[in-house]
Amino acid sequence: MYDTILIPTDGSQVAQHAVEHALDIAAKYDADVHTLYVVDTGAMDVGLGTEQVDRLRQGQFGSMPEVRERAESATNAVAEAARGSGYDLEVTEAITAGQPHRQIASYAEDNDIDLIVMGSAGRGGIKRALLGSVAERTLRTTHLPVLVVDVHED
């Protein structure tokens, strides 16, 4: 049923909680695992300039090592969780830039993903209506199954 699972991550605790679910599903279905970090170019500082944002969209992170480090740290955390899970899972790590929901959907299509497992920040009320969330936008952008793991803080 699920041969390839995508775990989009931003390195947050909510994303890490989704990783546990995704790895469990991957082990049950003997699925390949991909993890993706999307540099949100829409949220980048306006002071960067168009040229810098274009470089990010093309995957040229050399001029912004802190962005590359944050992205690699997030995807590495997923790979480490897979190695430490006791399951025999290989993880493909990827970094891209653009609108997160669109990049997630595009990556999923390009890599024959069968299931997307991602965290939700659990926003509600007005914030949710005004801002939306990457998870909600991903649900509207792709026709693939999306498992959204919500974590409520105590």
> What is the tens place of the pLDDT at every residue in 30-72?
999 999 999 887 766 545 556 555 556 555 665 667 888 999 9
Number of domains in the chain: 1
Give the number of other Cβ atoms within 10 Å of residue 82's Cβ: 22
Residue 140 belongs to domain with CATH number:
3.40.50.620
**Residues of the chain falling short of pLDDT 50:** 46, 123, 126-132, 154
Domain ranges, residue 71: 4-150
How do beta strands 91-98 and 115-120 pair?
Answer: unpaired
Percent of the chain residues past pLDDT 70, beyond the cut = 75
E strand intervals along 53-145: 91-98, 115-120
pTM attached to this predicted model: 0.84
